[in-house]
A = this chain, B = another copy of it.
Amino acid sequence: MHWSRSAIDESDDRFRAKFINSLSGFKSANLIGTADANGNTNLAIVSSVFHLGANPPLIGMIVRPHTVTRDTLENIQMTGSYTINHVSADIWQKAHQTSARYPKDQSEFEAVKLDEQYIEDVHAPFVSQSRLKFALKLVETQTLEVNQTVMIIGEITDVIVEPLAVQDDGFIDIELLETVAVSGLDGYHTTKRLGRLSYAKPDKDPDVIG
């Protein structure tokens, strides 16, 4: 079935939002932990975190400035500190609930009953229940001219992960940690491994490893 651009443009806003949000494929499910200068905390689920580079370790994410992630963006710009916390299968509904529009003075940690966790030298709170999480120092924010979304780039300073999940070669078994994947605006999924594949070379088929 072929959808032309005009058919997409003619569909209603809600349909289009769900349809277009489904196209990029499976997305990461992460909770962004922040705090303002006074220590008032905020927690927001985002599905737009992406890998930018390993050396130095850099992560990007996209947020919309005038939506429920507004406080997240302001806290990051004010303090330069944020945490990214994997959503695992035991907290997926609480994680989704952070996307409700709570009043500015109410912490989503408290509202959805997830616990704050702190480490030395990191201003922002982690999610205690998350099994893989890391702290970032803001590198830059950039408003994208095409649609006024904001790209946030951060450098990883600390990683907290259950040691069992880290394999000898550095691969982290996030399926073992029951990290979930997101589809569209509101679909949540656990995963089932097909396999890891060896580094591809032109003259041979890849081997299944690990």
Contacts and interface: CB of A to CB of B under 8 A. Distances in A.
Contacts of A201: 100-101
Interface string A62-89: 1000000000000000000000101001
Interface string A123-160: 00000000010100001100010110101010011111
A57 B20 contact: yes
A1 B169 CA distance: 17
A189 B184 contact: no
A93 to B, nearest CB: 6
**Interface range on chain A (Cβ under 8 Å from partner):** 35 or more
A3 to B, nearest CB: 4
A23 B3 contact: no
B172 A23 contact: yes
A11 interface: yes
B181 A191 contact: yes
A168 to B, nearest CB: 9
Q: Choose among A5, A26, A52, A153 the residue with the greatest number of B CB atoms under 10 Å from its CB.
A: A26
Contacts of A52: 62, 144, 146-147, 149
B202 A194 contact: no
A183 B202 CA distance: 23
Contacts of A57: 5, 8, 16, 20, 23
Interface string A190-204: 111111111111100
Contact of A51 (B23, B175, B206): B23
A137 B37 CA distance: 43
18 contacts: A1-B162, A3-B161, A8-B156, A15-B170, A16-B55, A24-B28, A25-B30, A25-B181, A26-B26, A50-B62, A53-B147, A56-B146, A93-B197, A96-B206, A181-B189, A187-B210, A188-B196, A190-B192
